[in-house]
Structure 1
């Protein structure tokens, strides 16, 4: 049995896109977090839902844009590896997404990161999150 808080069923995490949830960090700030599929065990990873380059949300309510195992920043098109969070191209080159510790047990995804408390599925309840102005279309 995993020592953590249940987030979702692994089946809820789409093959392309993301599963969005909100957690509270150790400073009581609400943070959006995305679950994305990954080829490495346990088959899914969790990342803070924003590009470190210009604080742009990846998932704006309809799933993060993804292609070939990479998360696409909607602002400049930088690509982040869904398994490592690393970016080696575009405006965000050299940055890595902040990770959130999770575990998968018997098809259920659990939040195991001591720095976060699960609040609810879906986006933050307010509009104070990172911006999402984009000039890219997918």
Structure 2
């Protein structure tokens, strides 16, 4: 049995797109993380859901834009290798996405990074709690 929290099944991770979940980092900050397909074993990688150039999310709730095994920054078009997280072009050239360790076992993806704690599927604001308790709209 794999250590860690089950995040998704491998078949849930699209060939071109991502699965989005929220985790807590070692400093108790909520971070969005994306699972993407990768040609190298174990076939799925996890990255913090932000471009290294600017605070720009790849997956805004409907899957990260991808092309030919690369994540595309929706702001400036920098391309990040889905397997290594490295970028060699555009505004983010020379940088690498922060990785989050996952384990794939028996067709399931588990969050196995000791620095992160799984909170919920979806983005930070997708936890089904109201953003306001007021019923008055302005």
Aligned to 1:130: none
Aligned to 1:31: 31
Distance in 1 between the 2:52 and 2:91 partners?
10
Q: State the SS of the aligned residue for 1:21.
A: strand
Alignment of 1:42-57 (within 5 A): 42-57=42-57
Larger Rg: 2
Distance in 1 between the 2:47 and 2:54 partners?
16
What's the CA shift for 1:55?
Answer: 1.3
CA RMSD of aligned residues (A): 0.8
Which segments of structure 1 move beyond 2 Å, counting only runs of 4 or more?
Answer: none
Aligned to 2:135: none
Tell me the alpha carbon deviations over residues 99-137 of structure 1, each in whole angstroms, 9 at most, x when there is no partner. Answer: 0000000000000000000000000027xxxxxxxxxxx
TM-score calculated relative to the size of structure 2: 0.90
Task: List gaps (5 residues or longer) in structure 1.
Answer: 127-138
Aligned to 1:90: 90
Q: State the SS of the aligned residue for 1:98.
A: coil
Q: State the SS of the aligned residue for 2:11.
A: helix
TM-score calculated relative to the size of structure 1: 0.90
Distance in 2 between the 1:60 and 1:72 partners?
13
Aligned to 1:131: none
Task: List gaps (5 residues or longer) in structure 2.
Answer: 127-138
Aligned to 2:129: none
